[in-house]
Chain A
Amino acid sequence: SAVISQKPSRDICQRGTSLTIQCQVDSQVTMMFWYRQQPGQSLTLIATANQGSEATYESGFVIDKFPISRPNLTFSTLTVSNMSPEDSSIYLCSVEDRQVLFFGSGTQLSVL
């Protein structure tokens, strides 16, 4: 199993600003996944981050709004850009190991 450290755990931000969320894994992994969970909702995959290549975004998510970095096999960042109140959600990073997903503790973002 993988241990994932995610930070910040929560933040309150002003609209129009950006927040970068960091995710550190205790082992090397090929793919890292970023999910969004809107209040009271299920998880929606934002993008898959591969080391050494651009992230693959799901329908409805674009790189300009959610730029992702993946500088090495243990680390990734997700930036939520030009935030609006609609971006208030929990953001989760995860990795897959033998077809099971392991998650960070999540970042609870509130945009005022």
Chain B
Amino acid sequence: DAGVIQSPRHEVTEMGQEVTLRCKPISGHNSLFWYRQTMMRGLELLIYFNNNVPIDDSGMPEDRFSAKMPNASFSTLKIQPSEPRDSAVYFCASSLPQGKNIQYFGAGTRLSVL
């Protein structure tokens, strides 16, 4: 299995631009998670999906952030408009639905907003 695949690996953009991060979960995993990692706040859960349905988006920082999962093999996290404080590493992870199951992480996208 190729694991969780995220793209791009690095993204540099200017303030005000739209940014779209992409994630392909492990085949057969029906839970998908988006996390953000910063020095100040550590690793934070932004949103998670079960069977393509958003379950909890309480971690999404503000309306500029949105996430979709149009099918079982693809998810996007969009920031519009982007701000310098959005600079972080964004991780996608997937798992089988029960709590005992391991979450497997992608390699992350390092976002820099200038």
A complexed with B: no
Q: Which residues of A contact B (CB under 8 A)?
A: none
